[in-house]
Amino acid sequence: MARAAGPPALRIAVIGGDGIGPEVTREACRALNAAASAGLADLELTEFPHGADHYLSTGETLSPATFATLRDDFDAILFGAVGDPRVPDGEHARDLLLGLRVRLDLFINRRPLRLRAPELSPLKSAASAPIDFEIFRENTEGLYVGVGRIENAGTPEETAVSESVASRFAVDRIVRRAFEHAAPRGLRVTLADKANAVPHMFGLWRRVFSEIAAEYPGVASEMRYVDALAMEMIRVPARFGVIVTSNLLGDILSDLGAEIVGGPGLAPSANVNPGVHGLYEPVHGSAPDIVGTGRANPMAAVLSAALLLRDHGAEAAADALEGAVDAALARGVRTPDIGGGATTAEVGAWIARRVASGAA
């Protein structure tokens, strides 16, 4: 039967990767397929084999042809995790995850941090004040560009130098996006930096932030040193709306934030170049020590899939996935990391059934 005319299907490339990545991604795909079957979104999912197994059997990390396919033939990528002890230098991981981030210019690493079940937070204040903020992490520069050198290797005078790079172009676009995101939502924007100790790079961040803040007089804004901000994330996390920061500081702060909202098993993320491409992945790693045990938590992968849907206008489907995760938490359908006894597949199946049922 010919397909009815309408908007094109959302084309999603699925890369499970390593460790528990394929396990949690499988459950996220189950939820996506349930949303499609319920008529909430028109989706086309295509799986790719790339990861350590593929690399060890073929020698390929990510070929130019595969990269071109991912770039040109798909709207977004749903990613699992990378990291495998059989590849100690992590070559395949660099090409896959970091390579896709850089080559697709996914300059925003957006990490929503929402406490969905107060009892899962280690903070005493969690039951009395909502925790729901986002971190906009610059994703292409900073210390992660890999610029540096080793001098006098193997001698008592050995010196390691790593250089951090910040350009006005990159700082401007991430800060501007943070304000654009915050403005319609009535959120405060906070810059996290360490300008008192690293004045050259973070001085640039402060100048750009001040210039853009002046363009948004209706948006509350502030600049905070990262150490003080980290303490406030623990003491009064409810005060934050959007935190924007550099690559390294964003990496650290978002992992801290994940812990205060229940751990990495509940923390999704999006690597995006708005209107161009996006890669969506749970914050947790590949966890090789629990592969095949059924203990991996698929909720962060499902929430990452919901982010993907929302960024591409499939609001009803995104609401269904997030609502199903919230319902599972409320009913106690949980993996061991968050106090439950269900397996990865059992949690994934429950979420998919909930999505398919259309229950609020």
CB atoms within 10 A of CB 45: 17
Check 251, 280, 311, 337 and give the catalytic one.
251
Active site residue 124: no
Question: b vs e for 208-232, b when ≥16 Cβ sit within 10 Å of the residue's Cβ?
Answer: bbeebbeebeebebebbebeebbee
Task: Identify the active-site residue in 84, 144, 193, 311.
Answer: 144
β-partners of residue 225 are 193
User: Catalytic site residue 251?
Assistant: yes
DSSP-assigned states of every residue in 243-287: EEE-HHHHHHHHHHHHHHTT-GGG-EEEEEETTTEEEEEESS---
User: Is 53 in the active site?
Assistant: no
| Separation between Cα atoms, residue 163 and residue 169, nearest integer Å | 18
Cα–Cα dist 315/234, whole Å: 31
Catalytic (active site) residue 227: yes
Q: Of residues 53, 172, 255, 319, which has the active-site annotation?
A: 255
The answer to whether 279 touches 12, Cβ cutoff 8 Å, is no
Burial class (CB in 10 A: 0-12, 13-18, 19+), 154: exposed
Helices (H) and strands (E) in the chain, counts: 12, 12
> Residue 1 contacts by C-beta under 8 Å, 6 or more apart in sequence?
none
Cross-sheet strand order for the sheet of 277-282: 43-48, 10-17, 76-81, 277-282, 268-273, 108-114, 132-138, 242-245, 189-193, 221-225
Closest CA to 47 of 64, 29, 33: 29
Contact 183, 171 (CB under 8 A): no
- Measure the CA–CA gap between 161 and 168, rounded to whole angstroms: 23
* Tokens at 72, concatenated: 């040109």
**Is 55 an annotated catalytic residue?**
no
Catalytic residue among 194, 225, 319, 326: 194
| Enzyme catalytic residues | 144, 194, 227, 251, 255
